[in-house]
Structure 1
Amino acid sequence: MPRIRRTTEDVYDALRARILENEIEPGERVNIDALARDLGVSQTPVREAVRQLEGDNLIVKVPGKGYRTTPLLDLERLRQLFEFRLLVDVWAVEVVTTNRLGNPARVIGQEIDRFELSIAGKTDIRRELVLHDTRFHGYILRALSNEVVREAYEQTHSHLHTFRLYAADIDGSITIAEHRRIWAAVESCDGSAAAAAMHEHLTAAFYRFAAAFDEAPGTLRGPATHRLY
């Protein structure tokens, strides 16, 4: 294959999409030479992209064995991640839902509208959904103006790892409805309602993702075994 002029960012986006969509399976060896040939680029941008993905915790370096994609979250790790999000996201949305210029209602409303337009007519929206979810919650966290909280939250890479489990919301309609309920409360400057809507959204999202474990033999089954709090 002839080499194509692609930046490290292009290669990063391509590899990230393959990992999120499980085209490169969890725990699979990452062959830099093979990826370079497949993408039609030199090894340099692939190596740089792999280092970025290592920072995203989507790829890990195994001493003496090169790189592998990280395994999927197990059920206990998923529960811990969502308990963390229930602490941070619910608190954050209540704090920023005030009658002031920092209220993020306008920007999260625009984000929902952009997402709906971007998925019109598409059958596979996983990539768009993970980007939308990351931006939606990110705008709320940025409105806090608290870099310590934002950096700690981003280091979990929660959106990347949960969306690798399976297509929990295949057409995005559930996420859109839940995000719109949060947006409506934020726009109304109703902090209690915004916190309740966020709590409902995250709890429901946890159970959607946890359903992936119900389909695997030998794993826990049923909502009662997935108790979140």
Structure 2
Amino acid sequence: MPTADGAHSRRLSSDDVYHQLRTLILENAIAPGERVNIDALARQLGVSQTPIREAVRRLEGDHLLHKVPGKGYQTTPLLDLDSLRQLFEFRLVVDLWAVRAVAVNRLGNPSGWLHEEIERFTRAIVGVPDIRQHLLEHDTRFHGLILGALGNDVVKNAYDQTHCHFHAFRLYSPDTNGALTIEEHARLAHAIEACDPDEAETAMREHLTKAFYRFARAFDDTGNIQLRFPQSPRIF
């Protein structure tokens, strides 16, 4: 079906639209606090408003968009330094407990999946100049595998609802080539494989602490954001 400018619409699903918009928000191509124009997005992507609206609802659930009465949808603000600290304090509670629990579970030990995920990520970033999306997806999957191995849906759902990875990665990319993440995740995977809860907890604590300070580099001494993603091409 031709669009308003005469172009033929592409067969994009709501999933495709969701992932495209999520990428633009995470990379700040759609700036924090900016209004999201559903009509303009539908025209630019060559789709109807239906998949756009479905994607927008999902992004609202991710807390990457919020609805402003009388103004439509806007992207949510970036984390400030205090919010970043609170996010990592939450993770230090949940992730440390989770990693100890899975490290002593010999029958449900997720180390094989963790090693596979590290290998998949390592292969995926070869020759890729900008690994931001790969890094976000890897970090989300890696920690999700640990939480999922608990077999506790309440904890996993509560953790997912914080959208820890989305919000931290909106600040900027703290590990430009992935080497630090690979090293820290590999240490975690080996500790879990060895069923060593003390080493697993230590590795997780050091990983999260280092990650916090990497992300905190986005702020100056007064707590104001000083770093941004390089601007990506806008689509509307």
TM-score in terms of structure 1 length: 0.93
Indicate the SS of the match to 1:68: strand
1:227 corresponds in structure 2 to none
Alignment RMSD (CA, Å): 1.3
Q: Identify the structure with bigger relative contact order (alpha carbons < 8 Å, sequence gap 6+).
A: 2
Evaluate the alpha carbon distance shift between residue 201 and residue 22 of structure 1 in structure 2; reply closer, same or farther with a 3 A threshold. same
Q: 1:203 aligns with which of 198, 209, 216?
A: 209
| 2:44 paired with 1:38 | yes
2:59 corresponds in structure 1 to 53
Percent of residue pairs bearing the same amino acid type:
63
1:111 corresponds in structure 2 to 117
Q: 1:68 aligns with which of 63, 74, 84?
A: 74
Q: Kindly state the Cα deviation for residue 98 of structure 1 after the two structures are TM-superposed.
A: 2.0
Q: 2:156 aligns with which of 140, 150, 155?
A: 150
Q: Kindly state the Cα deviation for residue 218 of structure 1 after the two structures are TM-superposed.
A: 4.3
Output the CA distance in 2 between the equivalents of 1:219 and 1:210.
9
Q: Kindly state the Cα deviation for residue 56 of structure 1 after the two structures are TM-superposed.
A: 0.7
TM-score in terms of structure 2 length: 0.90
Unaligned runs of 5+ in 1: 222-229
Output the CA distance in 1 between the equivalents of 2:83 and 2:185.
24
Code of the aligned partner of 1:219: G
Q: Deviations over 1:52-95 (max 9, x none)?
A: 10011110000111000011001101000000000000110011
Output the CA distance in 1 between the equivalents of 2:175 and 2:41.
30
Give 4+ residue runs of structure 1 displaced > 2 Å after superposition: 217-221
Output the CA distance in 1 between the equivalents of 2:127 and 2:178.
12
Code of the aligned partner of 2:77: P
2:103 corresponds in structure 1 to 97
Unaligned runs of 5+ in 2: 1-6, 226-236
Contact (CA 8 Å) 2:64, 2:76: kept in 1 or not? Answer: yes
